[in-house]
Structure 1
Amino acid sequence: MAERMSDKTVRSRLRDALNEPSDTDIGEPRARRRTPEMLLGLLLVVGGALGGVVVFQRSNDRTVVVGTARELQRGTVLTRADVIAVEVGALPEGAATPAGNAGVLLGQRLLVDLPAGVPISPQVVVPDELLGPSEALIPVALERGAVPSGLGRGDAVRVVISFPNQGIDAPPPQVLGDVVEVFDITNSDDFDDSIAVTLRANADIAVDLARAERVQLLKVTNR
């Protein structure tokens, strides 16, 4: 009986031994699992190093463009005193004027307000046209309430004249001619009720402005 049990035990152990993987079989799968992890780690290290090189190269990508020497208001006609060289990083094409092309900006009129030290894009300037044969610069003193808020040089306006002092016999308010341009505007201190505006317009409206009892400007936004 003891011998038979011993034989069964031996056979059982043999079967178990045949079904169990050897040391070599166990080691190989573990080695294969570690290989992708090692490759992934190597790729991350190499990729990080390359990324550092790209960032370093981009940070050194500098260029010199034309910038504002001081704060400039829209309507300003650019002169040499208004521009300086400014060093900047990479900018989209057309966002600035190269320093070598500074001459093309001189004599141009700004369409927007610009703070000091910023690049001047060719998109924010227009040629400063000379007065036409029938045009004139016409100065007018206006009440604060007759000037639209935020009005500045280069803005387009319509001129309205009225005669409030004539009472019930006064003619209705009249809109004069075509759209005209604000050539200059001077805001006096807060204690003064008038604002000096110079209009670039047809010379004929000067007579109408002179006879009007009240002049009002209406800003034109979609010209």
Structure 2
Amino acid sequence: MSKVDERVPVDGVPSQGQVTGPVRPPRVSARRRRPGVIALALALIAAGGAGVAVLLLQVGHRTEVVTVVRDVQVGQVLTEHDLGKASIALDPALKAVESDDLDSVVGKRAAVELKPGSLLSPTQVTKDSLVRPGEQLVPIGLKPEQVPATALVPGQKVQLVHVPAQGATASDADGDSPHGTIAGRVVKASKAAPGSGVVVVDVATAAADGPTAAGWVSAGALRLVLDAPDGS
């Protein structure tokens, strides 16, 4: 009897004489889709869409407003060079002049000191001159202990009170007004001077009372008293 050599394939290559059948392609199992992953993907897409929607709404609600681009002192007439425009998402609580109303504020006076980069509010401008016809402006220097704790703002009504120096009488002052007081209105108040702490307040008074108030200031016999908010 003859022996048949049985040869073992090396490295998966069939040896000579070995009969092999057709090679089947490897089976690829279908990937199972995880419901959790799908739900997460849908949630991310929805969140992204909501974020875009919010952004579009914010952009859609931006408002063109008037801004201040240069320093403007109290009483100064506003020009186009003092103002600019900006587009912002305006909080309803803020009252700002819209860009369409820019022409309506040009030519008016600053009722308060305006700083660059700030929004312009309707209450910060006035069509009235801070020193009206028939009035005079009296500068009054107040020592730190004479400055009211309440901030002095333009338009605030005050009383200028004559306080005679020690040993003098009220009749010593020329042109005393009745009761030793003069009605006035704050036009501007400076910041406290470094070192001395003195605050200079510009007060508008009737033209007839201006020289008297100036005399009281010169003699150091004047005090500034704030009126009640309603002017009473």
TM bucket normalised to smaller: 0.5 to 0.7
Pick the structure with more helix per residue.
1
- Tell me which residue corresponds to 1:176: 181
Distance 2:90 2:187 in 1: 36
- Tell me which residue corresponds to 1:11: none
- Tell me which residue corresponds to 2:166: 165
- Tell me which residue corresponds to 1:148: 148
Distance 1:157 1:71 in 2: 27
Verify the 8 A CA contact 1:94 1:122 in the aligned structure 2: no
Question: Structure 1 residue 160: deviation in Å?
Answer: 1.2
3-state DSSP class of the match of 1:164?
A: coil
Distance 1:210 1:52 in 2: 65
Distance 1:221 1:50 in 2: 56
* Alignment partner of 1:208 out of 188, 209, 212: 212
- Tell me which residue corresponds to 1:54: 53
Q: Which structure 1 residue ranges, 5 or more long, are not aligned?
A: 1-40
| 1:137 counterpart letter in structure 2 | L
3-state DSSP class of the match of 2:167?
A: helix
1:95 paired to 2:95: yes
> What percentage of residue pairs aligned between the two structures are identical?
24
1:125 paired to 2:125: yes
| 2:55 counterpart letter in structure 1 | F
| 1:162 counterpart letter in structure 2 | V
| 2:57 counterpart letter in structure 1 | R
1:196 paired to 2:195: no
Distance 2:103 2:96 in 1: 14
Deviations 1:54-99 (A, max 9, x none): 3132132233210122566766653434322122124439822222
Task: Specify whether residues 107 and 220 from structure 1 end up closer, same or farther in structure 2 by C-alpha distance, changes over 3 A only.
Answer: farther
Q: Which structure 2 residue ranges, 5 or more long, are not aligned?
A: 1-39, 172-178
3-state DSSP class of the match of 2:166?
A: helix
Verify the 8 A CA contact 2:75 2:129 in the aligned structure 1: no
Q: How many aligned residue pairs are there?
A: 184
Deviations 1:4-30 (A, max 9, x none): xxxxxxxxxxxxxxxxxxxxxxxxxxx
Task: Specify whether residues 140 and 118 from structure 1 end up closer, same or farther in structure 2 by C-alpha distance, changes over 3 A only.
Answer: closer
3-state DSSP class of the match of 2:56?
A: helix
Give the RMSD, CA atoms, in angstroms. Answer: 3.9
Task: Specify whether residues 105 and 133 from structure 1 end up closer, same or farther in structure 2 by C-alpha distance, changes over 3 A only.
Answer: closer
Question: Structure 1 residue 188: deviation in Å?
Answer: 5.7
Deviations 1:178-213 (A, max 9, x none): 3x2222333463223643332111012223324433
Verify the 8 A CA contact 2:71 2:114 in the aligned structure 1: yes
Distance 1:119 1:193 in 2: 30
| 2:104 counterpart letter in structure 1 | V
Pick the structure with more strand per residue.
1
- Tell me which residue corresponds to 1:136: 136
Deviations 1:156-186 (A, max 9, x none): 322111112326x567xx55243x2222333
- Tell me which residue corresponds to 2:27: none
- Tell me which residue corresponds to 1:220: 227
Verify the 8 A CA contact 1:86 1:117 in the aligned structure 2: no
Distance 2:142 2:93 in 1: 43
3-state DSSP class of the match of 1:163?
A: coil
| 1:118 counterpart letter in structure 2 | S
